Amino acid sequence: MAGTSPSTEPILSVRDLRVVTASRSNPRTVVEAVTFDVMPGETLCIVGESGSGKSVTAFSVMGLLPPDALRIAGGAVTLEGRNLAEVRYGEILALRATTMSMVFQEPMTALNPVQRIGEQIGEVIRIHRDTPAAERRRMVLKMLAEVDLPDPERIYAAYPHELSGGQRQRIVIAMALILEPKLLIADEPTTALDVTTQKQILHLMRELKTRHNTAVIFITHDFGVVSEIADRILVMKDGMVVEHGTREQILTNPVAAYTRKLVASVPNLHPPGREAARNAAILQVRNMSKTYGRASLFGKTAGVAALSAIDLDVHRDEVVGIVGESGSGKSTLARCIIGLVDGWQGEVRLGGEALAPNSRQRSNAIKQRIQIVFQDPYRSLNPRRVVSASLMEGLRNFGMGEREALAKVSEVLAIVGLERDVLRRYPHQFSGGQRQRLCLARAIVMEPEILIADEAVSALDVTVQAQVLDLLDDIKRRTGVAILFITHDLRVAAQISDKIVVMQKGRIVEQGTPHQVIGAPQQDYTRELIGSAPGAGWDFKNFRAFDTAPG
């Protein structure tokens, strides 16, 4: 609780942790010689690329390693003096939520969709304590208020699908903290959130940590978040610790080459100098509006405006960044343009030719001229087909012969930095960054005039993200394609965009060059977005803090 005297003893002590695959005959090491402490009231950020062992280390602490896949083969994990590697599974269950707790990246996987919120949080109390129902309800309502949820009584009775993503994340934090554990592990809890919601969650976690003197392990690949909340940073690679130090040491004077590479890959919010587009507009959107119908209690239809009076020009050889919070209309705009959402009003012209609202009403020639890359590359590729079939599919659908299509795909693979031998492999045999390169190859092989990238780098590690951003810039220079780049990350938008368009509640509230929008924003909403961007005060590429923050 707040007011607890500082302790010199760590809440958690990990010594020479070794985790291997479950095979007894031929075990493979996944985590090796990991050592660290976490003190009361301290936040330790564990960073590293996918596959570095961050989550495996956390699951080892929580006793969540899948027994048929992984096992602890050595070392000690000591929580308040007890070696968790030696206690029985039943004792581990008793420690969860009471002494240690965990918040996962996707709250909907941690919440029961058919159970009310109050019942789910109350269940944590019921399992671990003999508390009367009335007292459980009082504790839950108090916790809902502590995590700054509006109208706790309404939230208590709501189902998960009735809440926003940020509210659901607050719920799982409330669930994790309801019994005031000494250790909280948060595994990428803000990755999928927009910047304003992310800022609120980070502020909430800092506040609760201070109030309850909780030790926090925060797992992330986002150094912007790290710069905001870390007391100390542990850098992992290939299952091992490569560097460990204070936030200032790691961000301003990293020693290991891998750490320097990670930090330098983080995009800054200060935009680089870019020349304004001089080519003609290839895409023109005029007065676009989209309203979704919604049945009311009395059978009438109440309209929900997803887009209102959108005017937008995209020029050849230009990257237009579309930014805004979740629900601002960014993805709806992209889907209307490409024809995946119909029933919109207004006008869209591609090279002067008017586009029908529905893709089925558009000619094959028009469809070929606009391509899209989605956020999750694994869901975009057929897992049962070799990648050559996926990459050639569009060309073959438009009548190209197999030999010619294969030759063209092979040429494009060189542009995205992949070898020709990948064509025989399946999607699961690639890393996330490689899969996103394949999705880009599938789009640009069609030689589009407009490429839409819808959150195409938001789920990638910082080094892979930097590679894909450089690749998009290179593709733009080589092919002259115009890119509509949709993101909730202003730092990414600042680095890649020639023009930034800010959306709020289905409307464009501001647009201009990155220097205009980020350096001298005219709208309060834009200033709020900039102020919410994590790491706004850090120049990661040069390992220093900026003298002044943008906006």
Domain hosting residue 166, numbered range? 110-180
* Domain assignment of residue 456, yes or no: yes
Tokens of 111: 């919440």
Q: Torsion angle of alpha carbons 398, 401, 402, 404, nearest 10°?
A: -100
Q: If DSSP states are collapsed to H, E and C, what string results for 409-468?
A: HHHHHHHCCCCHHHHHCCHHHCCHHHHHHHHHHHHHCCCCCEEEEECCCCCCCHHHHHHH
For 13-35, what is each residue's pLDDT tens digit? 999 999 999 887 888 999 999 99
Q: Is the pLDDT of residue 293 over 80?
A: no
Q: Is the pLDDT of residue 551 over 80?
A: no
State the pLDDT confidence band at 517, using cuts at 50, 70 and 90: very high
Q: How far apart are alpha carbons 205 and 211 in whole angstroms?
A: 10
User: Of 300 and 150, which is predicted with more confidence?
Assistant: 150
- Do 354 and 496 fall into the same domain? yes
For 458-491, what is each residue's pLDDT tens digit? 777 888 888 888 888 888 888 889 999 999 889 9
Note the pLDDT of residue 295. Answer: 53
For 232-248, what is each residue's pLDDT tens digit? 999 999 999 999 999 99
- Do 61 and 175 fall into the same domain? no
For 149-183, what is each residue's pLDDT tens digit? 888 999 999 999 888 777 888 899 889 889 989 99
- Do 258 and 364 fall into the same domain? no
- Do 174 and 193 fall into the same domain? no
CB 215 within 8 A of CB 526: no
* Rounded mean pLDDT, 370-381: 85
* Domain assignment of residue 168, yes or no: yes
- Do 197 and 344 fall into the same domain? no
Note the pLDDT of residue 2. Answer: 41
Q: How far apart are alpha carbons 433 and 467 in whole angstroms?
A: 8
Using the 8-state DSSP alphabet, how is residue 115 labeled? S
* Rounded mean pLDDT, 207-217: 88
State the pLDDT confidence band at 203, using cuts at 50, 70 and 90: confident
- Tokens 């102020």 belong to 531
For 95-142, what is each residue's pLDDT tens digit? 888 899 999 877 888 899 999 999 999 999 999 999 999 999 999 999
Note the pLDDT of residue 518. Answer: 92
- Tokens 């119908």 belong to 293
CB 547 within 8 A of CB 213: no
- Do 219 and 176 fall into the same domain? no
What's the number of domains the chain is made of? Answer: 3
Rounded to the nearest 5 percent, the helix, strand and coil shares of the chain are 40, 25, 35
Distances from the Cα of 184 to the Cα of 20, 24, 94, 96, angstroms:
25, 32, 15, 10
* Domain assignment of residue 367, yes or no: yes
Tokens of 465: 């993200």
Distances from the Cα of 323 to the Cα of 53, 338, 340, 494, angstroms:
32, 18, 20, 10
* Rounded mean pLDDT, 319-327: 90
Q: How far apart are alpha carbons 382 and 126 in whole angstroms?
A: 44
- Tokens 């554990």 belong to 181
- Residue 178 CB contacts under 8 Å (≥ 6 apart), including other chains: 97, 121, 124, 125, 139, 140, 143
Distances from the Cα of 65 to the Cα of 19, 23, 45, 434, angstroms:
9, 14, 20, 27
* Domain assignment of residue 490, yes or no: yes
- Do 82 and 231 fall into the same domain? yes
Q: Which of 373, 323, 371 is nearest to 350 (CA)?
A: 371
| Residue where a domain terminates, one of 165, 180, 195 | 180
CB 163 within 8 A of CB 171: yes
* Domain assignment of residue 199, yes or no: yes
State the pLDDT confidence band at 3, using cuts at 50, 70 and 90: very low
* Rounded mean pLDDT, 68-79: 92
- Do 475 and 385 fall into the same domain? yes
* Domain assignment of residue 165, yes or no: yes
| Residue where a domain terminates, one of 147, 180, 213 | 180
Note the pLDDT of residue 101. Answer: 92
Q: If DSSP states are collapsed to H, E and C, what string results for 159-224?
A: CHHHCCHHHHHHHHHHHHHCCCCCEEEEECCCCCCCHHHHHHHHHHHHHHHHHHCCEEEEECCCHH
Q: Is the pLDDT of residue 56 over 70?
A: yes
- Do 342 and 416 fall into the same domain? yes
* Domain assignment of residue 157, yes or no: yes
| Residue where a domain terminates, one of 135, 153, 180 | 180
CATH number for 2: 3.40.50.300
- Do 433 and 526 fall into the same domain? yes
For the chain, what is the mean pLDDT? 88
- Do 129 and 249 fall into the same domain? no
Q: Which of 387, 445, 396, 388 is nearest to 416 (CA)?
A: 445
Note the pLDDT of residue 296. Answer: 54
State the pLDDT confidence band at 298, using cuts at 50, 70 and 90: low
Q: If DSSP states are collapsed to H, E and C, what string results for 242-259?
A: EEEEEHHHHHHCCCCHHH
* Domain assignment of residue 488, yes or no: yes
- Do 319 and 225 fall into the same domain? no
Tokens of 63: 């006793």
For 384-441, what is each residue's pLDDT tens digit? 999 999 999 999 988 899 999 999 999 889 888 888 888 999 988 887 778 888 998 9
